[in-house]
């Protein structure tokens, strides 16, 4: 099943396994099992109604956390195949990396983190791990999904050192400055490729940013020019799709080429030896600079656009009001979470809010604060 894997790739034979022992799967690998468990989870289904940049009710054509996760998985698998890494592990990480995201994107996360600061704070990577380790209730023998160590490792992109000590073996690399597996490194950058380029697409579709603005950004301008040269009569959505497609291809090829060179130079002979080396999966300096330029543009012109900021402000208000109401009177929580509040305290409130979709959070706010709602 893994005949083409390099020695430095994670495989069933060198995996650190699951926290709770299970019989080996029949007809599929350990990481196919992880992927399948993620896809069948409640948290994964909820991603359909969690925002990427635009709140879910703003339009059916904008990306959600679900479509974003699928796009990350597709990009990651394509590159993993060329690097002889474990495609199935990359896919499992890609599909699970956003499971702990709050409603309303980063505005929701920031608001929930502020609410939780007296109680340890809130971090979506840690919440994603909590979802797969604790919160999913599907199996008789254990809480969570009992995923392999390497999938759980990949979910944790970055966490404060102060929290790393709580995580046992998973936290060691943050304490000692080690790297994650090459598959986890790749999933992280596939995520970056997907959200930067697809936020360009959604930003243009929304009209909040324009082609004229983007023509000032090196990587976009270069690919736009190539498309126009090749297809002089192209316009509209086809022009944008072809340009974004070209950018994604350039980034994927650069990442593959640069990472191949670094791996050959470092010559890791196992996943653990790769973990002890500096990060080996990465872009060239030129592409990295262009990526940073695009990121700055999106931050200044899309994420900080007044219309996005207005919605973000509403999102913060919604999260803060919900948290405050549940904190003041836990009896307002659904019965299941009242019981969890007795066990976990404020973490149960964070679990409830983080698990909400955009539209559920809006509805819950109306139920609690609008006289006309039940």
- What is residue 2's predicted lDDT score, i.e. its pLDDT? 57
| Lookup: tokens for 48 | 């359909």
Are the CB atoms for 188 and 96 separated by under 8 Å?
A: no
Residue 372: pLDDT over 80: no
- What is residue 60's predicted lDDT score, i.e. its pLDDT? 46
Out of 7-21, 48-62, 67-81, 239-253, least confident range:
48-62
Q: What is the pLDDT of residues 249-278, one digit of tens each?
A: 999 999 999 999 999 999 999 999 999 999
Helix 306-328 and helix 105-116: axis angle, to 10°?
A: 40
Nearest to 30 by CA among 6, 44, 13: 13
| Lookup: tokens for 86 | 């474990």
CATH class of the structural domain 30-309 = mainly alpha
* Locus of tokens 């695009």: 294
Q: What is the pLDDT of residues 181-202, one digit of tens each?
A: 999 999 999 999 999 998 999 8
Confidence label for 331 from pLDDT (cuts 50, 70 and 90):
very high
State the Cα–Cα distance between residues 303 and 59, nearest whole angstrom.
17
Residue 72: pLDDT over 90: yes
- All residues at 6 or more sequence positions from 101 whose CB lies less than 8 Å from its CB, including other chains: 47, 50, 65, 108, 109, 124, 127, 128, 354
Q: Please compute the mean of the pLDDT values over residues 330-352 and round it to a whole number.
A: 96
Nearest to 279 by CA among 142, 367, 347, 187: 187
Confidence label for 158 from pLDDT (cuts 50, 70 and 90):
confident
* Locus of tokens 């609690």: 368
Nearest to 153 by CA among 347, 3, 19: 19
| Lookup: tokens for 53 | 């940049």
Residue 293: pLDDT over 50: yes
- What is residue 51's predicted lDDT score, i.e. its pLDDT? 80
* Domain edges within the chain: 30-309
Average pLDDT, rounded, for the chain: 93
State the Cα–Cα distance between residues 46 and 85, nearest whole angstrom.
29
Q: What is the pLDDT of residues 49-69, one digit of tens each?
A: 888 665 544 444 467 899 999
Whole-model pTM above 0.85? yes
Are the CB atoms for 98 and 271 separated by under 8 Å?
A: no
Nearest to 199 by CA among 43, 360, 71: 71
Q: Please compute the mean of the pLDDT values over residues 102-120 and round it to a whole number.
A: 94
- What is residue 57's predicted lDDT score, i.e. its pLDDT? 45
Alpha-carbon distance values, 319 to 48, 105, 350 (Å): 19, 11, 10
Burial profile 279-303: b = 16 or more Cβ within 10 angstroms, e = fewer: ebbbbeeebeebbeebeebbeebbb
State the Cα–Cα distance between residues 226 and 234, nearest whole angstrom.
12
Nearest to 90 by CA among 259, 220, 296: 259
Q: Please compute the mean of the pLDDT values over residues 87-111 and round it to a whole number.
A: 95
């Amino acid at each position: 099943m893994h005949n083409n894997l390099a020695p430095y790739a994670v495989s069933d034979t060198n995996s650190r396994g699951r926290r709770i022992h299970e019989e080996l799967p029949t007809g599929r690998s350990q990481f196919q099992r992880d992927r399948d468990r993620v896809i069948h989870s409640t948290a994964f289904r909820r991603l359909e109604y969690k925002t990427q940049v635009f709140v879910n009710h703003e339009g059916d054509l904008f990306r959600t956390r679900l479509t974003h996760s699928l796009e990350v998985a597709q990009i990651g698998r394509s590159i993993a195949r060329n690097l002889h890494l474990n495609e199935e592990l990359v896919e499992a990480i890609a599909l699970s990396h956003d499971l702990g995201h709050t409603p309303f994107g980063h505005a929701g996360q920031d608001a929930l983190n502020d609410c939780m600061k007296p109680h340890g704070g809130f971090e979506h990577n840690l919440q994603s791990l909590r979802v797969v380790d604790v919160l999913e209730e599907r199996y008789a023998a254990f809480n969570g999904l009992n995923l392999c160590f390497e999938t759980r490792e990949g979910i944790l992109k970055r966490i404060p050192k102060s929290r790393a000590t709580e995580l046992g073996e998973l936290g060691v690399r943050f304490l000692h400055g080690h790297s994650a597996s090459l598959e986890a490194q790749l999933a992280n950058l596939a995520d970056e490729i997907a959200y930067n380029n697809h936020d360009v697409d959604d930003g243009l579709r929304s009209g909040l940013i324009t082609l004229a603005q983007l023509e000032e950004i090196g990587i976009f301008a270069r690919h736009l020019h190539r498309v126009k040269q090749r297809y002089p009569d192209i316009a509209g959505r086809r022009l944008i799709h072809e340009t974004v497609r070209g950018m994604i291809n350039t980034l994927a090829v650069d990442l593959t080429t640069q990472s191949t060179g670094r791996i050959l130079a470092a010559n890791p002979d196992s996943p653990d030896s790769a973990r002890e080396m500096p990060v080996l999966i990465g872009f060239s300096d030129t592409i990295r600079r262009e990526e940073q330029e695009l990121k700055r543009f999106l931050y200044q012109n899309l994420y900080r656009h007044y219309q996005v900021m207005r919605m973000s402000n509403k999102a913060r208000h919604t999260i803060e009001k919900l948290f405050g109401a549940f904190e003041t009177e836990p009896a307002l929580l659904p019965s299941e979470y009242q019981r969890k509040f007795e066990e976990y305290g404020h973490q149960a409130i964070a679990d409830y809010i983080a698990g909400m979709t955009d539209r559920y959070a809006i509805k819950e706010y109306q139920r609690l604060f609008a006289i006309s709602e039940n």
